[in-house]
Structure 1
Amino acid sequence: MPEPLRCAGRSTRVSSEQSDDQFQADALAKLVKHFGWTWIGAVRSDSDYGNNGMASFLDAAHKEGICVEYSESFYRTDPRSKIQRVADVIRRSTATVVVAFVAAGDMRILLEELSLEPSPRRQWIGSESWVTHPDMLRFTLCAGAIGFGIQQSVIPGLRDFLLDLSPSEVAASPVLTEFWEDAFKCRLGKSAATDERLCDGTEDITTLQSPYTDKSKFRITNMVYKAVYAIAHAIHNAVCQKTNSTGHCDKLTMIESKQVLAQMKKVNFSQNGYDVSFDANGDPVARYELVNWQKSKSGSIELVTVGLYDASLPVGQEFHINKKLTWVEGSTQLVVAE
């Protein structure tokens, strides 16, 4: 058993301020505890996202009795020598489990470096930013990785709306224009540079292979969808009054933002299969999908949702795992890290 002085939360230099990813950090610590791991390594992006997220994780890990062999930070623009040093720390450590609170762009740089030289087996535990990013799945050295994803859902009508867009409708929206130009590698309704081509109107969105047009469910988009409905419910409650069994809404009334905020605190509704409400701090209940990198029959890596984490459940019962997990290199044996 490692000596107590090397336990999480005692020798790190990252910021201890409250992080926007506090809930995810707490969930990651409980995930590590759930599988009985008490001796781990940790890496993070050298950014607000990584530093604050890891600080929150280390505090939570310390409370769970988890000890950390090392805590390394890096950023995608660091000299290669710095990335190599972090990779060497991971290779030479005794910790077989590595928690990575890392942005996808930074994680790509680290995994490319680790891919250059054979490394001991490592069980990766990932934050949402990289562990659910489709471009990361090409790194087979992370097969068996587990982590959290924002709950996904099919948003009614969105796919049909996107597939029915015409070039003129796209050109009227800066957001859709950016999407269209990136998808088809052309410039829409403006002069192109010498190495660019103009969109000619023959572009067909139905031919694209992208999260917008396939049958995939949306994650962050689903959060925005629920947020819009939360605001709509708040506005509705601010302008409508219910008398007995009937209701009256004054659509011409002027309302202030503080009235909407007051109603936002009270919203409690179900939308698209998910409940939406806020606690006294204005936070929703922390719920995440538990995801696992599993090898397919063809040898490629697939992102599989294997369960759910719900912070509102009693201590020790937050995880509901409904599918079989695979571990490092596709093993069916749980990694021991103590």
Structure 2
Amino acid sequence: CFYLLFNSVLFSVLSDVELRSYRWLQTMIFTVEEINRNPVLLPNLTLGYLATDTCLSEGSTLSAALSIVTGQDKAVTEQCTKAPNVSLFPFFFCAPHLQVSYFASCACLSDRTRYPTFLRTVPSDAFQAQAMARLLRQMGWSWVGVIYGDDAYGKSGVQLLIQELEGSGVCVDYTEVIPKSHALEKIKRIVERIQSSKAQVVVTFAISPDIEVLLKEVVRQNATDRQWIATEAWSTSTHYSAWSGISLVGTLGFALRRVDIQGLGSYLTQLSPEEHTNEQLVQNVWEEVFGCKFGKEMYSGPHCTGLEKVEVQGEAYFDVMYNVYKAVYAIANAIQDIFFFLPTYIKYGQSKKLISGVKFTTPVGELVHFDNNGDPSASYDIINWHMGAEGKVEFVKVGQFDAARGPQQDFQLDLINMENRLYIIQVPVSVCSESCPPGTRKAVQKGKPVCCYDCIPCATGEISNANSRECTKCLERFWSNTDRTECIPMLVEFLSFQDIMGIILSVLSIAGATLTGTVLTAFFYHRDTPLVRGNNSELSFLLLLSLKLCFLCALAFIGRPAPWSCMLRHSLFGISFVVCLACVLSKTVVVLVAFRETLPGSNIMRYFGPAQQRAGIFVCTLVQVLICVLWLVLAPPLPTESAGGELGARVVLLCAVGSVIGFSLVLGYIGLLAAICFLLAFFARKLPDNFNEAKFITFSMLIFCAVWIAFVPAYVSSPGKYTVAVEVFAILASSYGLLLCIFAPKCYIILLKPEKNTKKSMMAK
């Protein structure tokens, strides 16, 4: 006869019968009897059992285990009278060289070096912590509190959970440990901490006696506005739901996979005090189930008759019972393997392999096997506490975790079902900081966990979705909208003929060219008059033609930049202005030399005749042409793009100067000629001439230099297409200055005062 030791807690700290533990005991007895009736499994052998209430005490557990070894078999059914310490093996069966637990889930028991002969039919808490972390993430609960017991189960479970939560976006606001002394002040402080926290979700990792003390204080203080997450230790216990009322309705928990065992339900209803008149345990269970007392004369409540109708109370969840069922079958199959294979294993020194090689199929059709650590495949039901129609708490399955399905399909949660079945307590929001809206990013608050953050708007050119940690930069030629929620194509911007500014500058350019052409026509028509002839008509015609070219070159700066237009606009501008200034310089030199010649017979003017003037203009222009050619060959101006406009949301098309040195030489050479013209004209401003051209040239050069001196800072500081507009404005302003200052007085005489356009009037002085 082989004996099994059943080790459980039949009485709670408060001396109440643990009906769930009693059902586990009855399940063990049922399974032993079923095996003994099986003609195939252990034929000619009979299994026996011993039951003991450990009171969660190592001493009681060890004493009961040694009773088999010493042969002093005895059943220990004493009620626990004090708060027990915690054993690593609170619930297990044992047989020779083998321990099989149906409820000890601590991950520490997977250490084969410390526990080489240990098996269990309950999954390791490593899987429960993994499933719990998945639940928190899927529900969006990023700010939670954690309560655990001061034992291996609680400490190991919380450590595993925190490891799973690292980097997952879920943070722990507080961790509180339930002391084994169950000190009331400490329990009250824990409940106050729960109530003061912003975390609406409370995760528990504690065994039944510890969690019961805490939950009773929670109910007493009416701290029922929290979402509780239960482990398999109490998620399906009707003991809590019986006295908590609606306080814990909505609790989510993990339960060991439920399997209906044929015949077990009817077996559990066979309890009868008449058949067990000498068993105090049966009477205690009867009193607990029906709320009555046997033989208590002074008792004012209902008395037990022993005829009450027995049913499985509280919709008992057959989760742990199936683990008990499997554990007994594991023992039986291990014993059978001992008879058949033990000599072989001992011969080759592989006795440990006998333990890990236990493999069998239960009568319900499940294949049971253990990995190298003695652990079974992990599978949990996700349970929601729901208030039924009769006012009793029901355990509704709303999801499942099955590690055998792989990481992509192991976790399933029916959120719609859970929403419909929740009673009073709706799915809460449990976050340290509200989700950041689109267009912002999370900025972790200094000194706080990553779940506590501020929402910072994304920078311009960046976008984000809701609850983003970082903003994403928009691709090239795209920009963020005002809300920073999407990237939109940038607007292409350049100084076009359709813009108001482009239209105005185009009109000014054409008007200037037209006015210059009109002056040129007037001068040509009156070319034989003293005024035109006296002001060097050839240079005047060339100056007017170059001025007309200056006005028209401004149009090359308007429109979409292209390689040819970029090269044309700068070279045409540089050469045309040099021709203008060379003509002005030549006119100034001629005037200055003519009026400064005082020595009789010097005839210095022969060195400044028309041929010399043409040569001078040609040489001055040739220098600029060579600069432009080198510039266009070595590093020409080409189209380029840059971010511009309001908040950089536009692509501005510009002509890059290519070589800054080339651009500087072109402008510098123009400035040099303008400065020389100004100085010479300034020296000749008081020469005795009725129509002193030097004075007008001085004014024109003043305007010219002022425009281009102001151009430099304006050009550098102007954004986008306004850079081009500034350059066009400088060209037009300086061109108008030359035209009006030099030719307006002459046109006034030619057209309005023809009586003064005589040799006598010009030689009056």
TM-score, length basis structure 2: 0.34
Distance 1:60 1:315, change over 3 A: same
Give the letter aligned to residue 409 of structure 2: Q
Q: CA deviation at 1:266?
A: 5.2
Distance 1:159 1:170, change over 3 A: farther
Find the aligned partners of 1:216 and 1:38 in 2 and give their Cα distance: 33
Give the letter aligned to residue 84 of structure 1: K
1:218 counterpart (318, 326, 330): 318
Distance 1:120 1:264, change over 3 A: closer
Q: Does the 8 Å contact 2:200/2:226 carry over to 1?
A: yes
Give the letter aligned to residue 424 of structure 2: G
Q: CA deviation at 1:261?
A: 5.1
Report what 2:240 is aligned to.
136
Q: Over the residues paired in the alignment, what is the CA RMSD in angstroms?
A: 3.9
Higher relative contact order structure (alpha carbons within 8 Å, sequence separation ≥ 6): 1
Find the aligned partners of 2:270 and 2:192 in 1 and give their Cα distance: 50
Report what 1:29 is aligned to.
133
Q: Does the 8 Å contact 1:50/1:101 carry over to 2?
A: yes
Find the aligned partners of 1:130 and 1:42 in 2 and give their Cα distance: 16
Report what 2:251 is aligned to.
145
Q: Does the 8 Å contact 1:18/1:52 carry over to 2?
A: yes
Find the aligned partners of 1:170 and 1:154 in 2 and give their Cα distance: 27
Distance 1:142 1:286, change over 3 A: same
Give the letter aligned to residue 66 of structure 1: V
Report what 1:247 is aligned to.
none
Q: Does the 8 Å contact 1:123/1:328 carry over to 2?
A: no
Q: Does the 8 Å contact 1:295/1:330 carry over to 2?
A: no
- Counting only pairs closer than 5 Å after superposition, residues 170-319 of structure 1 correspond to structure 2 as 170=276, 177=279, 179-185=281-287, 203-204=306-307, 207-211=309-313, 216-237=316-337, 239=339, 262=354, 264-265=356-357, 267-319=359-411
Q: CA deviation at 1:182?
A: 1.8
Give the letter aligned to residue 322 of structure 2: N
Report what 2:154 is aligned to.
50
Instruction: Describe the SS at the equivalent of 2:318.
Output: coil
Instruction: Describe the SS at the equivalent of 1:330.
Output: coil
Distance 1:231 1:112, change over 3 A: closer
Find the aligned partners of 2:126 and 2:148 in 1 and give their Cα distance: 15
Q: Does the 8 Å contact 1:145/1:328 carry over to 2?
A: no
Find the aligned partners of 1:195 and 1:261 in 2 and give their Cα distance: 60
Report what 2:292 is aligned to.
none
Corresponding pairs, count: 296
Find the aligned partners of 2:181 and 2:355 in 1 and give their Cα distance: 44
Q: CA deviation at 1:109?
A: 2.3
Q: CA deviation at 1:276?
A: 1.2
1:26-69, CA deviations, whole angstroms, 9 ceiling, x for partnerless residues? 32222212323221111112233222222222222225342100
Q: Does the 8 Å contact 1:231/1:264 carry over to 2?
A: no
Q: Does the 8 Å contact 1:50/1:102 carry over to 2?
A: yes
Q: CA deviation at 1:215?
A: 7.0
Give the letter aligned to residue 157 of structure 1: G
Find the aligned partners of 2:264 and 2:352 in 1 and give their Cα distance: 27
Find the aligned partners of 2:280 and 2:319 in 1 and give their Cα distance: 20
Distance 1:164 1:37, change over 3 A: closer
Q: Does the 8 Å contact 2:142/2:171 carry over to 1?
A: yes
1:139-185, CA deviations, whole angstroms, 9 ceiling, x for partnerless residues? 2222211011122333233344455567697579xxxx464132235
Q: Give the gaps of 5 or more residues in structure 2.
A: 1-105, 110-124, 289-294, 300-304, 433-765
Give the letter aligned to residue 282 of structure 2: W
Instruction: Describe the SS at the equivalent of 2:418.
Output: coil
Report what 2:417 is aligned to.
324
Q: Does the 8 Å contact 1:294/1:304 carry over to 2?
A: yes
- Of stretches 96-105 and 116-125 in structure 1, the one that deviates more from structure 2 is 116-125
Find the aligned partners of 1:160 and 1:89 in 2 and give their Cα distance: 45
Q: Does the 8 Å contact 1:265/1:282 carry over to 2?
A: no
Give the letter aligned to residue 156 of structure 1: Q
Find the aligned partners of 1:118 and 1:171 in 2 and give their Cα distance: 42
Find the aligned partners of 2:386 and 2:274 in 1 and give their Cα distance: 42
Q: Does the 8 Å contact 1:153/1:218 carry over to 2?
A: yes
Instruction: Describe the SS at the equivalent of 1:312.
Output: helix
Q: Does the 8 Å contact 1:41/1:99 carry over to 2?
A: yes
Instruction: Describe the SS at the equivalent of 2:172.
Output: strand
Q: Does the 8 Å contact 1:230/1:264 carry over to 2?
A: no
- Of Structure 1 and Structure 2, the greater helix share is in 2
TM-score, length basis structure 1: 0.72
Find the aligned partners of 2:280 and 2:163 in 1 and give their Cα distance: 40
Find the aligned partners of 2:380 and 2:219 in 1 and give their Cα distance: 29
